[in-house]
Chain A
Amino acid sequence: MNSMLLLLVMGIAAGCLGAILGIGGGMIITPVLTIMMGLDIKYAIGASIISVIATSSGSTIAYLKDDMLNLRVAMFLEIATTIGAIMGALLVGVFSSTFLYVLFGFFLLYSTYNMIRKLMDKKGESIYTGDDKIVAKLNLASTYYDKAEQKQVDYSMKNVPGGFIMMWAAGLASGLLGIGSGAFKVIAMDTIMKMPLKPSSATSNLMMGVTAAASATVYFFNGSIRPDIAGPLAIGVLIGALVGARVMQVLKPRIIRMIFIPIILYMGVQMVLKGFGVNF
């Protein structure tokens, strides 16, 4: 009873944070389950992939209702992510995972630096509204209502090929290393494609469930998903994600960025160290 209650509470916290930032929360859930609860890593990863799906599906309900996410961007970029994930799964063992951890770890550290620069920008969160041939052709420009700033924000984006390649790499990383790719998705949209942070996070939330569904199938049928762990956790995460998706909308983009930065810094350091054989 106690451990189920603990899982429920942890799920609520992880789902809430994940929905706000557009990340799965695996890098929080996995260490807590293995280190604090002494769970085998296999079951911890299984439980965390279920949390990714629960975060995604729970928050997407709210983000669709409030017109926060960009469905076209999601579906277009999902092609890149899912292909990347399949290639990753097929190529496991071909590349040295050390090299990949260090590579993606340093990329996250570099993104941390970029995000801090954006945060320090005196002009505040700039919205890109320029014209772009590919954006027009794919009809990607959209609009959202910012509850924190109480205004309608029309936005466009650029560098779609760059975002597409980044999404492919994110999928590849998740297939090869078994890590979630939410943070990479947000970075691809926010930093590379210059989408505003809020729709980037909401769109990443929608996408990460689709990407995770394939790996969740693998874990489900190979017995990595324990009902007594994943069940209560999923319920908690769903509740948390519904709450988080509402909280996110009243937060100022700047505040969301301030929460995002230490998380990707932590992930980056964690991955670089893992590459060098240090686990925590």
Chain B
Amino acid sequence: MPDKKTDAKSMHEETRQVELVIGKILRIGVITSAIVVMIGIIMYFINGGGGYTDGFPKRFADIFAGIAAGKSYAVIMLGIFLLILTPVLRVVVSIYAFYKEHDNLYVIITTVVLIILIFAMLMGYRS
């Protein structure tokens, strides 16, 4: 019969696997956003500017139109937006990881965090 200590240990081992998966996915997200920002910065130097006479794009439609037109500021803004999404990615992957671990309590807790976060981000988008 497993005593309390080995039980805690195997539980931690499971958590460990979960953390490694989250880490991997988070790394992909962070590297992607960093590469997009860097491409934008390189374009800035090649084009000799941001591509806008006045300001920079901040709405999705303008950002994508700017990227299509090869404007460096638009590419950097996309990279920054991807970076803003990386914490959201962390929460989403955590839900899946806890689910895999059969830890229902934390599936609920993390889902609540995700709902609050999405609500807050939508509030930010609309304001």
Contact = CB atoms under 8 A, between A and B. Distances in A.
B108 to A, nearest CB: 10
A97 to B, nearest CB: 19
A137 B73 CA distance: 49
Contacts of B34: 234-235, 238
Given A213-B117, A227-B40, A218 B124 contact: yes
A79 B110 CA distance: 8
Interface string A53-73: 110111011001101010110
A223 B55 contact: yes
A111 interface: no
A33 B40 CA distance: 22
Interface string B88-127: 1011001000000001011001101100110111011101
A234 to B, nearest CB: 6
A61 to B, nearest CB: 5
B10 to A, nearest CB: 13
A64 B83 contact: no
A247 interface: no
A212 B15 CA distance: 25
Contacts, number: 163
B65 interface: no
B67 interface: no
Q: Is the interface of A mostly helix, strand, loop or mixed?
A: helix
Interface residues of B, number: 58
A38 to B, nearest CB: 18
Contacts of B117: 82, 210, 213-214
B6 to A, nearest CB: 14
A60 B84 contact: no
A79 B116 CA distance: 8
Contacts of B64: none
A29 interface: no
Contact of A217 (B11, B26, B124): B124
A279 interface: no
Most buried by B among A61, A213, A235, A238: A213
A230 interface: yes
A225 B41 contact: no
Given A64-B22, A222-B58, 20 more contacts: A60-B26, A64-B19, A65-B20, A69-B19, A72-B106, A79-B113, A79-B116, A82-B117, A138-B105, A142-B12, A209-B90, A213-B85, A213-B87, A213-B88, A214-B120, A217-B84, A217-B125, A221-B127, A231-B80, A235-B37
Q: Which 10 A-B pairs have the closest CB atoms?
A: A217-B124, A214-B120, A64-B23, A218-B124, A227-B76, A209-B87, A231-B76, A82-B116, A213-B87, A210-B87
